[in-house]
Structure 1
Amino acid sequence: MGEGELGGAEAVLIDTVAWVRVEGGRVLCARPRGKDVFYVPGGKREPGESDLATLVREIEEELTVRLDPATAVHLGTYEAEVPGLPSAVVRMSCYTARYAGTLAPSSEIEETDWFSYADRPLVPPVDQLLFDDLRAAGELR
């Protein structure tokens, strides 16, 4: 038997990339259609896709703007369990980057909002780790 076949299921890793846009002490968050939770915008990597390719594709799909990958800066990578799925862990690689266009929810996003640190309980655990770091850096009020 191979490793992980005994003693329970191995954790499933959900590999994501997120765009961190902070303005006026608040971070941009989005709520997908059919969901009741806000997330920092971004999404899952497709096979063989780099962080920046994922980031540009996902943000264009979700917020109708084009990120400039030449301006991307890695802020950090966070991991946390997925609520309700104890055997799943989400990894979120976070980047800032400049954009062109007008921020607007796409067909897959119900709404966007700007969250302060007080809104931290409204986002998933992995996003909360980012909120903590943004607050510690003086970026989030």
Structure 2
Amino acid sequence: MSINILRVATACLLDEVGRLLIVRKRGTRFYMLPGGKIEQGEGSLDALRRELHEELGLDIGASALQPLGHFRSRAANEPDHWVEADVFIGNLKGPAKAQAEIETVAWLKLHAQLEGDLAPLLREQVIPALLQRLNREQ
């Protein structure tokens, strides 16, 4: 049996009070980080910037996004798939508007009890790595 792997680039975008921007795609249950699939011949950062513009109307400069890490987990919305994600971190200074396939934009308080429908990658790997990094920087 072969493993179906989706290569994606996503962003941990934090607002001025340290909340994390999360999104939910139309017709799905799980919230995840904004971003999307990396197209053939495209770099992770270029894919991420393209997806942020298409899905949220954001124009974020490459220098505003720093690598957080590379993570692998089961996919939230696609059965029998795994996701490999290059995850970046940055600060969001303007509003994000749901467009394209994004149905809902929400803010997650990182230090609150993690409840709700969060994608496995976000809940199990990215949030712990993000909290560890933010704690080191304080």
TM-score category, normalised to shorter length: 0.7 to 0.9
**Aligned partner (choices 72, 79, 90) of residue 85 of structure 1:** 79
> CA offset at residue 116 of structure 1?
2.4
One-letter amino acid of the structure 2 residue matched with residue 39 of structure 1: M
Separation (CA, whole Å) in 1 of partners of 2:115 and 2:34: 15
Q: TM-score, normalised by structure 2?
A: 0.82
Q: Which runs of 5+ in 2 are unaligned?
A: none
Please, which moves more after superposition, 127-136 or 61-70? 127-136
Figure out how many residues of one structure are paired with residues of the other and give that number.
130
1:30 alignment partner, SS class: strand
**Aligned partner (choices 116, 119, 123) of residue 109 of structure 2:** 116
Q: Which structure 2 residues correspond to residues 99-110 of structure 1 after superposition, within 5 A?
A: 102-110=95-103
Q: Which structure 2 residues correspond to residues 1-141 of structure 1 after superposition, within 5 A?
A: 9-23=1-15, 24-82=17-75, 85-86=79-80, 88-97=81-90, 102-117=95-110, 118-119=113-114, 122-128=117-123, 129-138=125-134
Q: TM-score, normalised by structure 1?
A: 0.80
Q: Which runs of 5+ in 1 are unaligned?
A: 1-8
Separation (CA, whole Å) in 2 of partners of 1:19 and 1:120: 20
Q: Structure 1 residues 121, 138: CA separation in 2 closer, same or farther (over 3 Å shift)?
A: farther
Cα RMSD, aligned residues only: 2.1
> CA offset at residue 101 of structure 1?
5.5
In terms of Rg, which structure is larger? Answer: 1
Task: Give the % identical residues.
Answer: 23
